[in-house]
């Protein structure tokens, strides 16, 4: 048996300027909505990771013309909501739960049959939380006996909008139902037990699709509309920036600027916690783009830029930070 020993030594200060890769959630949705839109969608800052590439390959397999990615740039020539074609075989989502769950909503409204599969890990994950409400809308989806993938989605079904209270707070389930709602007759209304990231809602509006929000936890859309191609500038991902954010916060004398980071109000939990622990976090050049908060810039004594954080996800990232949380009184982290 081989034993690996890892030694961690103090690394000094963090100084410089960097831009972490693009936001994964937004990259997925940019491809999906661009493929379903009428006209051309240009995407910059696309995350060229395996999960997002699985989404891209799936739409290529359904006849959508997609150029790239090349250095984060992708051009999608949308097929429209009714323009997808039956793929030659199963669509492999790799390890991407986001791809599988959101694609299930889109494919439930198609005229052709589709099979969604993935790697060993993905095919063990529960899918009934999306297949059961989709069935209530009229979809026909077969799973394994345990409710996992592969998902065999039967086309040609008549979908009807539903009023669905989510049993758990999940942006993926919410997004799945809203995407299915694009193909449904009537209104699709989703109510959350707690707010989750709202990239799908913001981006639908960015593609010209009207939504109605009822309070902080309910969103509704009517089927039968259309999406219009647009330009998407994917911001840097705070899920990646968090490590640098914490590092700059705890290393004395750090001066780190992280550029072009998107700040979504539903994903800023790490920033809020750091501020409560004494970090002076500065956000500069905040603005809205494409329906959502977009790139920011800043500088400070100890500075770092963060992007969108899932509120429940940041806890483990900050565990080590909590153990060494004696922040100097002059600490400042800036988001740029």
pLDDT tens digit string along 185-214? 999 999 999 999 999 999 999 999 999 999
Cβ neighbour number for residue 310 with a 10 Å cutoff: 17
The answer to whether 161 and 186 are in contact (CB under 8 A) is yes
Q: What is the pLDDT of residue 328?
A: 41
Distance CA 213, CA 229 (A): 23
Strand, coil or helix: 147: coil
Residue 274 confidence (pLDDT) above 80: no
Please give the structure tokens belonging to residue 250: 């705890």
Phi, psi of 5 (to 5 degrees): -115, 125
Residue 240: its H or E element: helix 238-250
| Rounded alpha-carbon distances, angstroms, from residue 118 to 54, 100, 147 | 10, 8, 14
What is the tens place of the pLDDT at every residue in 39-89?
999 999 999 999 999 999 999 999 999 999 999 999 999 999 999 999 999
Mean pLDDT, rounded, of the chain: 85
165 pairs with which residues across the strands?
191
pLDDT of residue 232 exceeding 90, the answer is yes
Q: How is domain 24-232 classified at the CATH fold level?
A: UDP-n-acetylglucosamine1-carboxyvinyl-transferase; Chain (3.65.10)
Confidence of residue 307 (pLDDT cuts 50, 70, 90): very low
Beta carbons of 262 and 30 less than 8 angstroms apart: no
CATH 3.65.10.10 residue ranges of the chain are 24-232
Percent of the chain clearing pLDDT 90 (strictly above): 64
Provide the 3-class DSSP secondary structure of residue 170.
coil
* Per-residue pLDDT reduced to its tens digit, 114-159: 999 999 999 999 999 999 999 999 999 999 999 999 999 999 999 9
| Cis amide linkage into residue 69, ω under 30° from 0 | yes
* 24-36 vs 50-61: helix crossing angle, rounded to 10: 10
Half-sphere exposure of 41 (CA within 13 A, CB side): 32
Model confidence, pTM: 0.84
């Amino acid at each position: 048996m081989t034993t690996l020993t890892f030694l961690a030594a103090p690394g000094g200060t963090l100084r410089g300027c960097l831009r972490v890769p693009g936001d994964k959630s937004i990259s997925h949705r940019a491809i999906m909505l661009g493929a379903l839109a009428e006209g051309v969608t240009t995407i910059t800052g696309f995350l060229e990771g395996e999960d997002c590439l699985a989404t891209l390959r799936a739409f290529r397999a359904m006849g959508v013309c997609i150029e790239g990615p090349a250095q984060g740039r992708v051009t999608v020539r949308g097929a429209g909501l009714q323009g997808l074609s039956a793929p030659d075989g199963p669509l492999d989502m790799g390890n991407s739960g986001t791809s599988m769950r959101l694609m299930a909503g889109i494919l439930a409204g198609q005229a052709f049959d589709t099979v969604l599969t993935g790697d060993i890990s993905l095919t063990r994950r529960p899918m009934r939380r999306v297949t059961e409400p989709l069935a209530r809308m009229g979809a026909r989806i077969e799973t394994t006996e345990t409710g996992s993938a592969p998902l065999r989605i039967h086309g040609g079904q008549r979908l009807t909008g539903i009023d669905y209270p989510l049993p758990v707070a999940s942006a993926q389930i919410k997004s799945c139902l809203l995407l299915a709602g694009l193909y449904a007759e009537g209104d699709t209304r989703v109510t959350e037990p707690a707010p989750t990231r709202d990239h799908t809602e913001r981006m639908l509006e960015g593609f010209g699709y009207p939504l109605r929000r009822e309070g902080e936890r309910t969103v509704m859309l009517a089927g039968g509309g259309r999406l219009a191609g647009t330009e998407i500038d994917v911001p840097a991902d705070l899920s990646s920036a968090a490590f640098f954010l914490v590092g700059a916060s705890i290393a004395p004398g750090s001066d780190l600027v992280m550029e072009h980071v998107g700040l979504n109000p539903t994903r800023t939990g790490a920033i809020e916690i750091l501020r409560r622990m004494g970090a002076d976090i500065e956000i500069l050049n905040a603005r809205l783009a494409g329906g959502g908060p977009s790139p920011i810039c800043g500088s400070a004594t100890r500075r770092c830029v963060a992007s969108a954080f899932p509120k429940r996800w940041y806890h483990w990232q900050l565990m080590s930070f909590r153990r060494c949380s004696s922040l100097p009184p002059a600490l400042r982290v800036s988001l740029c």
